[in-house]
Homo-oligomer: A and B are copies of this chain.
Amino acid sequence: MTQTASELHHTELKHTMNMLFAQARAAARALALAGSEQKQAALEAAAAALERDCARVLAANARDVAFAQGKGLSPAMLDRLRLDEGRVAGVVESLRNVAAQPDPVGEVMEAWERPSGLSIRRVRTPIGVVGVIYESRPNVTADAGALCLKSGNAAILRGGSESLHSSQAIHAALAEGLRAAGLPERAIQLIPTRDRAAVGEMLAAQGLIDVIVPRGGRSLVSRVQSEARVPVFSHLDGINHVYVHAAADPVKAQAVVANSKTRRTGICGAAECLLMDRESFAAQGAALVSALQACGTEIRGDRHFQTLPGVRPAEPDDFGCEFLDNIIAARVVSGLSEALTHIAHYGSGHTECIVTEDAAAADRFAREVDAAIIMHNASTQFADGGEFGMGAEIGIATGKLHARGPVGARELTSFKYLVQGEGTVRP
């Protein structure tokens, strides 16, 4: 029996991937036992190597950019792919930030005694093997690899095909750091092929990969969510609302709304919809709209907002839309209950914000809104692992199991129970 070229190719890929998975598992066992200082040393050595090899990384990146331009990548995608000295310095700094974070592994989460005489501790452990699938953003190679290493997990990284050389150059620095610290180099592996079937192998790797984190746009994340047989930490959309309650402070409202929408419009923490109570709309709707317009924001409003100059009528689809652009849908609501109903219907469970001086209203909003992050008088753009104090994030999750919100090193851990007796038996 002869195999076709494509079958042969697929057999080879499967073989390569299975070897990679097995190496990751072996590395994970060693990494789980690595000391905090050893892991920190590896991250610091990787940062130093990357700093030293900046020119080599930029040369690799130039090859990727040329290839991507040839493929006709969009300007936004090209911008994400492109590195310069400042961006490499940012990656180096991010490695050092993760190095400086506390080691979550071994942390005693809780300890208690039982009437039986047992003493029980719940202690953090690594999860095992983490798969990360991302687009052509070379810096994710460093962030994801570093967070996995910090949390004692082996990482299998699959970057966008256009960033292969840049990712390989960054990965070389991570591998050098691991070697320098006496840790297995295979603790962070980068998939060496552009073949898209490798992603399919990762998604099907039940028992071989313990969790997958997709990081990228809607089409990547939705493919991962629908095909994966491995657990996934992810979010599909960030359809985030800012609700200006009747008892809002106008200065805070204007600051929070403008920052939530316009600081950066293309990130998942950006606000996509403004809700205002009648009272706050009457008092400051016009001022708020002018402030947004001064930042270049296009407002798509309901009939109330349409009475203001320059506001375009909202189509029904504009509510619940993730614009990822300088556009905001806007609606007047009759009060907290209607705002909650609107958010329950259109929100994506990512980040929701209330602006109010009324503590009871804020409490009810916090209790009733079902989202990973609830902001009170603070910009939705704070939805970020760095801003939460996690040093970095591997992604943001909107699922409700294990990880929710920004996913840092600690969210990449599991735990075990250590039970101590004195020859204690159960009656």
Identical subunits present: 2
Q: Are A255 and B423 in contact (CB under 8 A)?
A: yes
Q: Which residues of B contact A376 (CB under 8 A)?
A: 418-421
Contact residue among B33, B128, B373, B404 (Cβ-Cβ distance under 8 Å from A414): B404
Q: Does A325 contact B (CB under 8 A)?
A: no
- Interface centre among A366, A422, A424, by most chain B C-beta atoms within 10 angstroms, is A424
> Judging by beta carbons under 8 Å apart, are B127 and A377 in contact?
no
Nearest-CB residue, chain B, relative to A210: B400
Q: Is the CB of B255 within 8 A of A419?
A: no
Q: Which listed residue, B210, B263, B424, touches A401 by the CB 8 Å rule?
A: B210
Q: Which of A361-382 contact B (CB under 8 A)?
A: 366-368, 370-379, 381-382
A424 to chain B minimum Cβ distance, whole angstroms, is 4
Q: Chain A binding site: helix, strand, loop or mixed by DSSP?
A: mixed
Type the 1/0 row for A386-427, where 1 means its CB is closer than 8 Å to any CB of B: 011100000000001110110000000011111111111110
A17: min CB distance to chain B, Å? 21
Which residues of chain B are within 8 angstroms of A120 by Cβ–Cβ distance? 388-389
Q: Which of A372, A382, A426 has the most CB of B within 10 A?
A: A426
> Is A83 in contact with chain B by the CB < 8 A criterion?
no
User: A291 at interface (Cβ–Cβ under 8 A)?
Assistant: no
CA distance A48 to B33 in the complex (A): 51
Whether A405 touches B416, Cβ cut-off 8 Å, given contacts A256-B423, A400-B210, A425-B255, is yes
Q: Of B32, B256, B401, which one neighbours A425 at CB under 8 angstroms?
A: B256
Closest to A251 in B: B423
Q: Given known contacts A373-B419, A401-B401, A424-B377, is B33 in contact with A367 (CB within 8 Å)? A: yes
With a cutoff of 8 Å between Cβ atoms, the chain B residues found around residue A255 in the complex are 423, 425
The complex places the Cα of A416 from the Cα of B404 at a distance, in Å, of 7
Segment among A51-59, A111-119, A172-180 that sits at the interface with chain B:
A111-119
Q: How far is the CA of A370 from the CA of B256 in the complex (A)?
A: 46
Residue A249 is within 8 A (CB to CB) of chain B in the complex: yes
Residues of chain B with a CB closer than 8 A to A312's CB: none
Residue from B231, B263, B416 in contact with A373 in the complex, judged by beta carbons closer than 8 Å: B416
A426: chain B residues within 8 A (beta carbon): 259, 263, 379, 381-382, 387
For A116, the chain B residues whose CB sits under 8 A away are 382, 387
A163: interface (CB < 8 Å):
no
Assess the B425–A377 pair: CB atoms within 8 A: no
The answer to the question of A252 belonging to the interface, with a C-beta cut-off of 8 Å to chain B, is yes
5 A-B pairs with least C-beta separation: A378-B421, A252-B423, A259-B425, A400-B414, A402-B402
Known: A210-B401, A375-B421. 9 other contacts (CB 8 A): A29-B344, A116-B387, A118-B382, A210-B400, A252-B422, A377-B421, A378-B425, A404-B415, A404-B417
A residues apposed to B, CB below 8 Å: 29, 32-33, 106, 112, 114, 116, 118, 120, 123, 125, 127-128, 210-211, 231, 249, 251-253, 255-256, 258-259, 263, 344, 355, 366-368, 370-379, 381-382, 387-389, 400-402, 404-405, 414-426
Q: List 5 A-B contacts (CB under 8 A).
A: A114-B388, A253-B423, A376-B419, A378-B420, A382-B424
